[in-house]
Amino acid sequence: MEFFQQTYTALRGPTGVQQTPEDTITRLSDRLSPSTLLADRRAAVLSLKGLARAHKQLVGVHALQGLLGIIQNDADVDPDIGRAAIETVVILCDTVDDSYTERDLGLEHTDKLLEDEKTAHKLFALLGDQDHFLRYSACVLLITVLQNRPQRVQAYFLKAPVGPAPVIAVLEGEKEIVGQAIAMLTALIRQSTEIQKILAFDGIFEKLFSVVTREGGLEGQSVVTDALKCVDTLLRFNTSNQSYFRETNLPTLLCRLLFFDPNIQPDQVVPQEFALQFWNEDKATNAGLILEAIGLLLGPKGAGLREGYTFTRLLVEMALASNAPTTVKVKCLRLLPPAAVALLPDMILTPYMPVPDTNGEEWDRLEAATGIDALLELIMHGEYNGQDAVRRQKESVDLRATAVGVFEHFLRDDHVKEAIISGLLPPEDAGIPAHSPVTPLLFGLIIPPNSLLDRSSVSSVQFAAVLFAHLLRHAPYCKDLARKIIPRPLTLLPSSTADGAFFVPADGEPPPPSEPPSKDDSEDAPQNLLAVLTEHLSLAFLQRSRAELAPRDAREADRVICAYLSLLAQWLWEDPRAVREFLEAGGLGVLVEQLNQPSEIDVVVPGLCAFLLGVCYEFNREPGEVTRVTMHSILTRLGADVLVGRMNRMREDERIKVVGPDSWVLPCPTPGPQALDPAFTPMYDGETEIWFDWAFVDFWKANNHTIQRGIVADPDSASSSTAQSGEESILVASLRGVIAKQAAEIEALQNKLKELTATSLATAETAASEASQSAAKSTEERVTLEAALEAERSKRTEVEKEQEDLLVLLDELSSKRAKDKERMKEQGMEVSEDEDDEEEDGEEED
């Protein structure tokens, strides 16, 4: 009651005097000064709050300073007054308003608030206050000023004495405040790498993810989405934060949030818990954000990381073997790093198919397939084996187109292309007529055009042509091999093969033919793929020319014709032998007939025909039935200028113009100046179409000019394309690479040689000196040895001499003894023949 009375008195003023708003506001503002009692101040603030919206300017002029003072001094003591003051300032600084003046006022007030750092610092401090409502309102005011003057607030934040801790701590608060806190953080980190880093340092990632888990993981609603968007901002352009993030165990958490086992081993099967999940729109958005984070951490190189394999596996599994929404799958394929594609052939996936009419509640598990097979299957037939392919919805065509991009990365290595093409050749030992194994790719290429009114087949032909062009473009060896492909006539195909069992392109293992070729077939000489395509092109034109063709079917036929023409143009480019085969198969007639009576409305098909004819003329360098001279006269008759004009007009068509490296799925019908047929309407809402991929458009733009010049050239003139053809420049580039590599090698070898020579010289020197040393030593030794030997010898002679003397002495003695014996005998004494003699001798002598 007291409050109302006071307010009333304040509003009324002295009795009987007419009040103006200015008087009232001035009076209320005066009461904000610290000298007033707290209760009165509180009443004044509440009154001002009521007036702020209607009298934004007056309240701003008179009261803003006082309110800021209250925030500064009273908020800690009395949360209520703090909260009321802050809420009033929020109204004053608000710029979300229709009128310009109000908006300018909001900015003006914001500038006043941010004149010095005091209020901002206080607000950051209040985020850590005990009072829930105070925290909440401080958060709201910070959001407001951050929206108005982000850089100033960010600069103050970096100097805030309380530091980043309270800003992060609000994330632990109640549910209502967490939403505001995330909005505030999102504004605070925008475009400020420094703040992003300091918050990461203080653990914002962990806090944000704990919000995510607390709010129910990916199935949580907008709070989770906002938190994940915040994570994205913290990581996207911040390498320092990315490396910090990798260091934490949060990458593991990213996997777990998607129910993916982060410790999965290559030989383990991914459990159903991951493959078949419950999905709704929120979850798809949130999962998309998690996948973006994974893509950021993987980077372009990706696979080298600690979690590289897990992340790659997750992306592949989700894209090719899960029930994730198609948009999520597109994201997975788009984020797959080019280097990681090499892992595809070794990954074993178990794809799933929804059981029809169960509204996605029951799923069939299909046979296991390698990642690359599953990818090709997806491109050729569409998601879930083409269940919805006829509708050509944006996301499902996008998915196939993105898969083509992944396949293109897979083909980076020429050997892979060769291996795949070799896998399409007829087995060598099968005798004649041997047919190529029917793979989904080849099957897609050779679907005969009379069955082409089937919309999903048309898409298959288009994608098959794009894939096959990727295999052949600027790959002369692959083109040579491709001419040996002998497709089995489709009438003989067992129907089960047509449903598209998986095939292994790299291993080239053909699905075993379940029916032997029939006898009728052997009468015709088997046609190679190029001839089949030529024939189908002709059939497609025939189909197209039927008068009763509905506009929709006519457009389908045009798509197929464009697919054939673009593939042939890339195949025949710089391949004279293929040109000859094409001409001999009747290709010339088909093209000339079309150019003779071109469509009045369409510019693309005649333009492509002229281009292909030009390619044939340019590269018709092999002797054959149709010579350049023959062709030249036809070109003259058609009029070279007319043909050049047709090629140029094609440039204007939207279907060529809007194609970019990542965008070749176009809305149907593609908007543009030339509507194909006014009667045409798409069959389904939101239908999309494809005509050409970027690789073809790029090829066509690069070579269009060469062909235009070639068409007017004399039949005897040499090929003019040699100067700047793509193939040549690639060759030159690769040769340059080889030369550079060799030069480097030579240099390295020379250096090594120098080094070796140096060392060998050194060794030789040391060896020589050693040798001389040892020689000197040995001579020395020899001298000493000789001396020793001499000494030894002289010693020996001495000893010998001595021995001789002794022998002589002995001889003398024995002769003397013999004499003595004789004398003793003579004297009749007994003489032994033995030693006794001596004794006797001795006795005698005694």
Q: Which of 115, 174, 176, 194 binds another protein (CB under 8 A)?
A: 194
CB 31 within 8 A of CB 41: yes
Render 679-726 in DSSP notation, one character per residue. Answer: T---SSTTBEEE---HHHHHHHHHHHHHHHHHHTS-TTSPPSTTTT-H
Q: How far is the CB of 301 from another protein (least distance, A)?
A: 16
Pick out residues in 212-231 that bind another protein (CB under 8 A). 213
Q: How far is the CB of 166 from another protein (least distance, A)?
A: 12
Nearer to another protein, 244 or 352 (CB): 244
- Contact flag: residue 306 with another protein (CB under 8 A): yes
Q: Please give the Cα distance from 443 to 441 (Å, whole number).
A: 5
- Contact flag: residue 152 with another protein (CB under 8 A): no
Look up residue 218 and give its amino acid: L
Q: Which of 72, 95, 252, 350 binds another protein (CB under 8 A)?
A: 252
- Contact flag: residue 265 with another protein (CB under 8 A): no
Cα 622 versus chain centre, distance: 42
3-state secondary structure of 742: helix
Nearer to another protein, 202 or 395 (CB): 202
Helix H segments across 573-692? Answer: 576-584, 587-596, 604-618, 628-638, 640-651, 654-657
Q: Which of 256, 365, 651, 825 binds another protein (CB under 8 A)?
A: 256
Stretch near another protein under the rule CB under 8 A, chosen from 160-168, 418-426, 475-483, 651-659: 160-168
Q: How far is the CB of 300 from another protein (least distance, A)?
A: 20
Stretch near another protein under the rule CB under 8 A, chosen from 305-313, 673-681, 712-720, 766-774: 305-313
DSSP type of residue 658: T
- Contact flag: residue 117 with another protein (CB under 8 A): no
Question: How far is the first Cα of the chain from the last one, in angstroms, to the nearest whole number?
Answer: 172
- Contact flag: residue 385 with another protein (CB under 8 A): no
Each residue 163-192 as x (binds another protein by CB under 8 A) or -, in order, gives xxx---------------------------
Q: Which of 235, 253, 424, 533 binds another protein (CB under 8 A)?
A: 253
Nearer to another protein, 251 or 710 (CB): 251
- Contact flag: residue 259 with another protein (CB under 8 A): no
Helix H segments across 336-430? Answer: 371-381, 383-386, 394-410, 414-422
Nearer to another protein, 243 or 784 (CB): 243
- Contact flag: residue 249 with another protein (CB under 8 A): yes
Q: How far is the CB of 198 from another protein (least distance, A)?
A: 5
Helix H segments across 175-325? Answer: 175-189, 193-201, 204-214, 222-236, 239-247, 250-257, 272-275, 281-298, 308-320
- Contact flag: residue 693 with another protein (CB under 8 A): no
- Contact flag: residue 273 with another protein (CB under 8 A): no
- Contact flag: residue 262 with another protein (CB under 8 A): yes
CB 606 within 8 A of CB 594: yes
Strand partners, 353: 364
Pick out residues in 406-465 that bind another protein (CB under 8 A). none
CB 439 within 8 A of CB 503: yes
Q: Measured at the alpha carbon of residue 599, what is the angle toward residues 598 and 602, in degrees to the nearest 5?
A: 125
Stretch near another protein under the rule CB under 8 A, chosen from 26-34, 83-91, 240-248, 748-756: 240-248
Q: How far is the CB of 159 from another protein (least distance, A)?
A: 5
Q: Which helix (H) or strand (E) holds 825?
A: helix 726-826
Pick out residues in 640-679 that bind another protein (CB under 8 A). none
Q: Please give the Cα distance from 670 to 356 (Å, whole number).
A: 32
CB 428 within 8 A of CB 358: no
Q: How far is the CB of 571 from another protein (least distance, A)?
A: 46
Nearer to another protein, 137 or 242 (CB): 242
Q: Which of 13, 128, 179, 203 binds another protein (CB under 8 A)?
A: 203
Q: Which of 65, 193, 277, 719 binds another protein (CB under 8 A)?
A: 193
What are the backbone angles phi and psi of residue 336, rounded to the nearest 5°? -65, 120
Nearer to another protein, 244 or 279 (CB): 244
Q: How far is the CB of 227 from another protein (least distance, A)?
A: 13
CB 323 within 8 A of CB 282: no
Q: Which of 206, 395, 521, 698 binds another protein (CB under 8 A)?
A: 206
Strand partners, 348: 370
Q: How many residues line the site for another protein (CB under 8 A)?
A: 33
- Contact flag: residue 255 with another protein (CB under 8 A): yes
Q: Please give the Cα distance from 277 to 480 (Å, whole number).
A: 47
- Contact flag: residue 127 with another protein (CB under 8 A): no
Q: Please give the Cα distance from 60 to 308 (Å, whole number).
A: 56
Q: Which of 251, 371, 487, 614 binds another protein (CB under 8 A)?
A: 251
3-state secondary structure of 769: helix
Instruction: Report which of 158, 79, 144 is spatially closest to residue 105, judged by C-alpha positions.
Output: 144
Q: Please give the Cα distance from 769 to 763 (Å, whole number).
A: 10
- Contact flag: residue 243 with another protein (CB under 8 A): yes
Strand partners, 349: 369
Q: Which of 132, 190, 197, 621 binds another protein (CB under 8 A)?
A: 197
Stretch near another protein under the rule CB under 8 A, chosen from 64-72, 256-264, 475-483, 836-844: 256-264
Give the total residue count for the chain. Answer: 846
Q: Which of 36, 53, 219, 244 binds another protein (CB under 8 A)?
A: 244
- Contact flag: residue 268 with another protein (CB under 8 A): no
CB 328 within 8 A of CB 318: yes
Render 585-602 in DSSP notation, one character per residue. Answer: TTHHHHHHHHHHS--SS-
Contacts of 451 (CB under 8 A, 6+ apart): 457
Q: Which residues bind another protein (CB under 8 A)?
A: 158-159, 163-165, 193-194, 197-198, 201-203, 206-207, 209-210, 213, 240-241, 243-244, 247, 249, 251-253, 255-256, 262-263, 306-307, 310
